[in-house]
C-alpha cells in the first residue's frame, strides 16, 4: 500500500472509515446519479483523502440538462428529504440553472453541509475538461468521481488560490506524490490557462 491508499482497476481506494460528511455526499449522489452524470470537485477532494478541515458545502459539477430531466431530479431529491436553498418551486430553481447560476441542496431542516450544484457546458473549458477526465475514488463502499489529481492541484493553486486551497493542494501533492504525473501536469496547465485569461 502506498501511504493510505492503493490503486485497483484505475480506482484510488482510500484506506479510512466513512465519516458523517461522506455519508451525506453518498446519500445525495445515490439519488443524483439516477438522473445525471456528475463530478465532485474542490474541498471535498482533499477532505476525502484525509485532510482534516471543515467545509460547509460540497461542489458537484452537472451538465446543464433539460427542464424535464431536472424536474425528475428535483422531485426525487425532495422525496428523499432534501431541500433547495433557492426555492421550493422547480421552475424557479431551473431558472437559476438557465442563467448558469449554482444551486444548493441540504437535508430537510438543516443548512449544512450542503451540495452546491454547478451547471456546466462545453463552453466552460476548464470545468468541461475535468468533467470529461474523471478519476474514481473509493472509501469503503462509497465510490465517486473527482477530477484528475494534477488538475485539482493546479486549479487550487492557480485559479482559486485562497489559503485553504493552497493548503489543500499542498496536501494532495504530498498524499499522492508517488503517482503524480509531470506530463499530466503540463496537459492540465494548458487547459487551466483558459480560466486565467
pLDDT digits (tens, 9 = 90+) for 40-70: 999 999 999 999 998 899 999 999 999 999 9
Number of domains making up the chain? 1
Considering the domain boundaries, does residue 178 fall inside one? yes
Query: In angstroms, what CA-CA distances link 73 with 106, 128, 188?
Result: 14, 21, 32
CA 152 distance to own-chain centroid: 10
pLDDT per residue as tens digits for the range 115-166: 999 999 999 899 999 999 999 999 999 999 999 999 999 999 999 999 999 9
Residue 16 contacts residue 50 (beta carbons within 8 Å):
yes
Considering the domain boundaries, does residue 197 fall inside one? no
Residue 184 contacts residue 148 (beta carbons within 8 Å):
yes
Give residue 54's pLDDT.
85
Q: Residue 90 sits in a domain of what CATH number?
A: 3.30.460.40
Whose cell is 418551486? That residue is 89
Model confidence at 3, in pLDDT bands (50, 70, 90)?
low
Question: Can you give the residue range of the structural domain that contains 101?
Answer: 5-12+19-192
- Which residue in 16, 18, 17 sits closest to 5, CA to CA? 16
Considering the domain boundaries, does residue 76 fall inside one? yes
**Taking the model in full, what pTM does it have?**
0.95
Residue 117 contacts residue 104 (beta carbons within 8 Å):
yes
Amino acid at each position: 500500500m502506498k501511504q493510505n491508499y492503493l490503486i485497483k482497476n484505475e480506482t484510488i481506494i482510500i484506506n479510512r472509515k466513512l465519516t458523517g460528511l461522506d455519508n451525506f455526499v453518498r446519500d445525495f449522489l445515490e439519488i443524483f446519479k439516477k438522473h445525471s452524470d456528475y463530478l465532485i470537485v474542490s474541498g471535498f477532494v482533499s477532505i476525502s483523502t484525509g485532510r482534516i478541515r471543515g467545509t460547509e458545502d460540497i461542489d458537484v459539477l452537472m451538465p446543464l440538462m433539460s427542464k424535464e430531466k431536472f424536474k425528475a431530479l428535483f422531485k426525487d431529491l425532495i422525496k428523499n428529504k432534501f431541500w433547495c436553498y433557492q426555492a421550493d418551486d422547480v421552475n424557479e430553481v431551473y431558472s437559476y440553472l438557465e442563467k448558469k447560476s449554482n444551486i444548493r441542496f441540504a437535508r430537510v431542516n438543516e443548512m449544512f453541509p450542503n451540495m452546491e450544484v454547478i451547471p456546466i457546458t462545453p463552453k466552460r473549458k476548464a470545468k468541461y475538461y475535468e468533467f470529461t477526465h474523471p478519476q474514481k475514488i473509493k472509501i469503503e463502499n462509497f465510490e465517486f468521481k473527482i477530477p484528475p489529481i494534477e488538475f485539482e492541484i493546479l486549479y487550487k493553486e492557480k485559479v482559486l488560490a485562497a489559503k485553504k486551497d493552497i493548503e489543500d493542494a499542498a496536501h494532495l501533492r504530498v498524499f499522492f506524490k508517488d503517482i503524480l504525473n509531470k506530463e499530466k501536469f503540463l496537459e492540465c496547465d494548458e487547459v487551466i490557462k483558459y480560466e486565467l485569461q
